[in-house]
Amino acid sequence: MKRLICAMCMLTAALCMSAQEESKPAWITGEQESSFPGEMIEYAVSQSPTVIEGENGTITVSLNAMIFRGALRYFFSSKGENFVVDNLQTQKVLLQIDDQRATNYSLVGNNSYTSNTLNFDGSYRNQFKKLLKKGGKKCTIEVEFEKSGKKTVEFNIEGLPEKFTK
């Protein structure tokens, strides 16, 4: 009987944890003061549940939307290992939302050869914004890391506040 009660408690705890994970919002939103006094940055961040075991530990990736001085930016950010970029600071990323056709995007890093961010610039920013505006639940990217090579990373993109797609 004690074993049965213990097993039921463990099952209940696992189901509660699963329900909590599922009810977690896809986007964490907020605002913070920029390094320019009196100017605010509005942000939305979707942390990927994909965990990559890299050569030097765990790699995590987030999809970020940011509004600063009226300008909207989208970018991927990595922790644990940098993205590979070429000498022009770009990387071609294969991106897909839900079951739509996968498309190559040229994203821009912040250094030559490796970067911890990949930014959507120009027409790619506009294309991505249109995809986000249509709605969707899942964004999948194939991206290359400095030591771990090409990896597929998924994001829950449901519920992005409208101000980040205007």
Tens digit of pLDDT for each residue in 92-119?
Answer: 999 999 999 999 999 999 888 899 999 9
What pLDDT was estimated at residue 87? 87
CB of 147 within 8 A of CB of 127? no
- Hey, what are 89's tokens? 């600071």
Count the Cβ atoms, other than its own, within 10 Å of residue 81. 22
- pTM for this model (two decimals): 0.82
Question: Which residues in the chain land under pLDDT 70?
Answer: 1-24
What pLDDT was estimated at residue 30? 97
CB of 61 within 8 A of CB of 48? yes
What pLDDT was estimated at residue 10? 37
What pLDDT was estimated at residue 144? 97
CB of 76 within 8 A of CB of 63? yes
What pLDDT was estimated at residue 5? 30
What pLDDT was estimated at residue 13? 38
What pLDDT was estimated at residue 9? 32
What pLDDT was estimated at residue 8? 30
- State the DSSP code for 102: P
